[in-house]
Amino acid sequence: MLRNGLEPWHLLVLGIVVIMLFGSKKLPDSARALGQSLRILKSETKAMKEDGAAPGGAAPGAAPGTASSERPAAAAERPVAPEGGARAR
């Protein structure tokens, strides 16, 4: 009885329902937007892979010539707690 989960007539019914819900004018625009989103996603994942394979152990997104263990000066300066463990109220 249940040979395949998805038969050709299921796709036909699904297509008719989608056309009725969204209309034939919006479908090409939606498909174009989906394709553009997939192209952007593909280019971003490719860029992330290239950044991750950077030589010298640099962290992804780090400026060229900086090692991942180097920290910017602003990050190194942290406020020091007052002596004696007193907290501001």
Q: pLDDT tens per residue, the chain (89 residues)?
A: 456 677 888 889 998 998 888 888 888 888 899 999 999 999 999 999 988 875 555 555 555 555 544 445 554 555 555 665 555 55
Q: Is residue 63 part of a domain?
A: no
Q: Tell me the residue range of the domain where 38 lies.
A: 24-52
Looking at the domain assignment, is residue 16 inside a domain? no
Which pLDDT score, from 0 to 100, does residue 86 have?
55
Rg from Cα positions in the chain: 27
Question: Residue 6 and residue 77: Cα distance in Å, rounded?
Answer: 61
Residue 36 lies in a domain: yes
The pTM assigned to this predicted structure is 0.40
Cα distance between residue 29 and residue 34, in whole Å: 9
| Helices assigned H by DSSP within the chain | 8-52, 73-76
| Domain tally, the chain | 1
